[in-house]
Amino acid sequence: MTVFLGIDGGGTGCRAALCDAQGCLMGQGQGGAANINTDIEGAAASIRAATAEAIGDSGVDPRALVAVLGLAGGAMQGAVRQLRGLLPFARIRIVNDGITAARGALGECDGVLAAMGTGSVFVLQRGAHVRQVGGRGFLMGDQGSGAVLGRSLLAQAMRAGDGLAPMTPLLQAMLDRHGGIEGIIEFGNRARPGDFARLAPEMLQGDPAAEAILQEAARDILQILTVLQDGQPLPVVFTGGLGAHYAARLADALPVQAPRGTALDGALAMARDLEALPDA
């Protein structure tokens, strides 16, 4: 019996699920961060741990699994090649986590996905055509993501500390928590995307400085989604930890609909598709 593995991995954590050829769930597991743009060996360890938990005591051999991995950084082909050598699976396809999220959220229907978590990625799915925008990491992209929001908040706190922007309760709290401007700089020098992203929930409480950052992020997201729709009223699905926030904020401007399934559902569906394709 062929057993299929789906992986959904990002900057904060990694989830694994096993299913049989009929799509019946056989086990699930979790692991640590799995962003191959920032830590390939760490991502491999997280994937192996999540897979082992999903296998449990079932006796399934990981070397026999047909796997699709949707990972942050999965569009970086150099990182993909390195990761392949660190994993034991019989067949493996590695894609950006936005691709598996789109398959899960949209099924096989036309639409646009906005996956808004630690990072962000946007995916147009129209028939057999799939186009991805973003997913390039918080240093160079990831508009509206938790990591970018958190980084922007700390940057604004430093500006306020220098007297260049109005001080607000949240900005003062950031300065106090990190020990002032120098402390923020030290934090930024060692922080990973998930560390910045953990600040994002505090920005949803109505602080004026945070609201200005969120408004700018929403404008960026709307512009991206408008380009991807290309004049057609395609449904837009928001997923990820910040998905509900942006869905509510942009509901009047876009035909927002609820997701059909999760990124893990999409990875499992793609893994089952993979068996029918020639070996690669």
Mean per-residue pLDDT, 233-253: 94
Closest CA to 227 of 168, 143, 156, 153: 143
| Token duo for residue 218 | 């929403």
Confidence at residue 96, expressed as pLDDT on a 0 to 100 scale: 86
The yes-or-no answer to whether 4-106+262-274 and 110-259 have a common fold is: yes
Provide the 3-class DSSP secondary structure of residue 29.
strand
Closest CA to 238 of 229, 230, 227, 249: 249
Q: What is the pLDDT of residues 82-98, one digit of tens each?
A: 999 999 999 999 998 88
For residue 156, count other CB atoms closer than 10 A to its CB. Answer: 21
What's phi and psi for 236, nearest 5 deg?
A: -120, 130
| Token duo for residue 186 | 């030290």
Element holding 154 (H helix, E strand): helix 146-161
Alpha-carbon span 254 to 16, nearest angstrom: 32
Taking the mean position of all CA atoms in its chain, how far away is CA 19? 22
Mean pLDDT value across the chain? 92
Which comes out higher in pLDDT, residue 275 or 236? Answer: 236
Percentage of the chain lying above the pLDDT 70 cut = 98
Positive or negative: CA dihedral 41, 193, 265, 220? negative
27 contacts 56 by C-beta, under 8 angstroms: yes
Alpha-carbon span 126 to 111, nearest angstrom: 6
CATH of 4-106+262-274, one of 3.30.200.20, 1.10.10.10, 3.30.420.40, 3.40.1160.10: 3.30.420.40
Mean per-residue pLDDT, 41-50: 96
DSSP per residue, 55-97: HTTS---GGG-EEEEEEBTTT-HHHHHHHHTT---SEEEEEEH
Q: What is the pLDDT of residues 165-184, one digit of tens each?
A: 999 999 999 999 999 999 99
Total-model pTM: 0.78
Alpha-carbon span 213 to 116, nearest angstrom: 15
Alpha-carbon span 162 to 149, nearest angstrom: 20
Confidence at residue 128, expressed as pLDDT on a 0 to 100 scale: 79
Q: What is the pLDDT of residues 188-212, one digit of tens each?
A: 999 988 899 999 999 999 999 999 9
Q: From start to end of the chain, where are the E strands?
A: 4-9, 14-19, 25-31, 66-71, 91-96, 111-116, 120-126, 129-134, 236-239
Q: Where are the domains of the chain?
A: 4-106+262-274, 110-259
Alpha-carbon span 66 to 93, nearest angstrom: 9
Q: Which fold would CATH assign to domain 110-259?
A: Nucleotidyltransferase; domain 5 (3.30.420)
Mean per-residue pLDDT, 111-117: 93
